[in-house]
């Protein structure tokens, strides 16, 4: 992980503890990659980055850790299609463009879209969030 952009172990441990996550070695390593900068990574990308020096973290551990981080609000899960999920380190209210040609996810600031005429929610429920992904593709000239 020397040539990668990472943050210190102590900062990751602090973030994990604040979120109520026990800081195991694998969670710290994954957090050092994820929390280093605003980014959108798939579980496979995280697995490849964490294991660049050799297979140290299992695929199951990466998937379980990302799921835990999402449940605790450390990252947002962005589902662009049933087979493609990104983990977004920007947890503020915002939306996304998904570039179908390149596979890139691009942030749209939350104040650039306005949701009007929300439907009445079923009784006994509350809105937990709104995910908007606008799929874009290059057009032939």
Top pLDDT among 113 and 122 is at 122
| CATH at residue 58 | 1.10.10.10
To 5 degrees, how large is the angle CA 7–CA 11–CA 13? 115
Q: What is the pTM of this model?
A: 0.85
**72/100 same-domain check:** no
Structural domain contains residue 1: no
pLDDT one-digit tens code per residue, 6-54: 788 999 999 999 999 999 999 999 999 999 999 999 999 999 999 986 6
CB-based burial label for 16 (10 Å; 0-12, 13-18, 19+)? buried
**77/95 same-domain check:** no
For residue 68, what are the domain limits?
Answer: 9-81
Residues 6 or more apart from 3 whose CB is under 8 A from it?
Answer: none
**66/27 same-domain check:** yes
**101/122 same-domain check:** yes
State percent of the chain over pLDDT 90. Answer: 74
Top pLDDT among 81 and 46 is at 46
């Amino acid at each position: 992980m020397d040539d990668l952009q990472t943050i210190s172990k102590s900062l990751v441990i602090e973030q994990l503890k604040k979120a109520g996550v026990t800081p195991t070695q694998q969670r710290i390593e994954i957090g050092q990659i994820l929390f280093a900068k605003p980014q959108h990574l798939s579980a496979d990308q995280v697995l490849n980055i964490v294991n660049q020096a050799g297979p140290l973290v299992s695929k199951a551990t990466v998937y379980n850790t990302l799921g835990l981080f999402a449940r605790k609000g450390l990252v947002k899960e962005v589902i662009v299609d049933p087979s493609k999920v990104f983990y977004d380190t920007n947890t503020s209210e915002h939306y996304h463009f998904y570039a179908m040609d390149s596979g890139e996810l691009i942030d749209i600031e939350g104040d650039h879209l306005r949701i009007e005429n929300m439907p009445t929610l079923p009784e006994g429920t509350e809105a937990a969030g709104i995910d908007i992904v606008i799929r874009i593709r290059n057009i032939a000239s």
